[in-house]
Structure 1
Amino acid sequence: MFMKTVLADGQAEQQVIREMKARAAGARGDIEQIVRGVMADVQQRGWDAVVEYAERFDGKAPYIVEPEVLDDAYNACDPKLIAALEKAAANIRDYHEQMLVKTWEWNRSGGETLGQTVRGLSRVGIYVPGGTAAYPSSVLMNAIPAKVAGVGELIMVTPPTENMSNEVLAAAKIAGVDTVIAIGGTQAIAALTYGAGFIPQVDKIVGPGNAFVAAAKKLAFGTVDIDMIAGPSEVLVIADHTANPTYVAADLLSQAEHDKLASAVLLTDSMA
């Protein structure tokens, strides 16, 4: 995260902007070079390469998170949180059902038949961050629309941690994710892109991640589909002395938590 106190000085402000641009550009170049090598290695060597990178960066080889682990995580969560997640899931499902594009057919009087057939993708991979913070909302917002669209199989990948987030695993259970695999980073994206070991190739990869994940999705596009290339986040909050500092801090942190390269900047005329 990038934070600095700057007084009302145009020269100092320009220095901050130069530092932000240089940092982002330098990091992006290094990251893309690393990611390109990992993606190429997984494409060539398959499962052996995936395991090597997983053990190096995740600390352990990939493994499937068994359904009973999801059940235990669900039961371990605060009932109020579960109620909130289930309510959110219902709202997301209801909304996306209204957006659903459906198959239709039109038989014209001249004898010709026009229309379109709409089918969900066979298999979609969902990346869920698990390093800096846990985001059960990312699970719901990616998995439920896919289910509504008729996707045949949902595979969720998330970095293995000493104590995997119960909230994230509970959200996967609520959303109806078919398989949860403990693997993160570039190696997860590469495995979903090319297929390796028990991780099958998918049709599309969605979900947020750090700069390495974003770079990997960029390289994966064309072999598989992706949702978008996002991050690292940048936010500029403009606030005067009447602003509630708690709300201002929350807005800054909501973007800063996404990535260590995120930039959260406050512009204010009030040093207090």
Structure 2
Amino acid sequence: MTTLADLAELVRAPAALSVPGDVVAGAAAAGALNRRTPALAGASVLLYWAGMAANDWADRRLDAVERPERPIPSGRVAPAAAVGLAAGLTAAGLGLAAAVGGRRAAALAVPLAASIWGYDLLAKNTAAGPAVMAACRGLDVLLGASGGRLTRALPAAATVAAHTWTVTALSRREVTGADAALPLRTLAGTALVAASAAAPDGRARSVGIVAALPAILSGWYAARYGAAQAQVVRDPSAGRVRAAVGAGITGLPALQGALTARGGAGLLGLAVAAAAPLGRRLARKVSPT
């Protein structure tokens, strides 16, 4: 019988801590932080979980060979239940986004959902895979900005998308291991991402320690994720690659916190970044990859 623990493993439940910060960072950048932001973040989480369930359904035959311990190949979750859960979570996420954010939110949630399913079913194992997944995260940031000026959130969306490209590029070598060139490329990308998040925003009027928060948080992000990638440079084995992917997922809230603080919401940025150590702790119980 399928248990809640099995479903939590299927959707990588703790990894969802890396999701609300997308919406919050987008809302902060666009000047759209309001009572709708938590609900939009909830919609984003539902779509993320849908993508994780759809991913394992699409990979069920490959996982039977490479990762037989996962919920579907191990027999703990039936394939029909997984794809049904993915469809239901997608519908719930789209419905919630439209209900709280109206047409503007729906206009971003629909292509976000389409990109998630497109990645899982079509793009994942192609050269376009990292770009499609990066687009998913960029659209997620813009979903949070849907109640304000979208153009102001484009830099934040691009920054999160670039980070996502590095994680996705690494994830494609979780089973086979990587050559040394790949982590060097992703490490360079991480440095650029951190620098982008730390750059001052001319619209923000923060002073003192609050003004320094984007640089502090982006440095924290770069140090943790960068260290994991540096380990892959030295030892590009599958285990090291999986560890770096996990660090990229669980470290994302620190980057989102930097972007939120850059948008003028310093204390909220700290709250978003606090999900990073919590995510690392939970990842020891349920793998985020």
The interval holding the TM-score normalised by the smaller chain is: under 0.3
Length-normalised TM-score, structure 2 = 0.24
Hey, which of these two has a bigger chunk of helix by percent?
Answer: 2
Length-normalised TM-score, structure 1 = 0.25
Which entry has the higher C-alpha Rg, 1 or 2? Answer: 1
Hey, which of these two has a bigger chunk of strand by percent?
Answer: 1
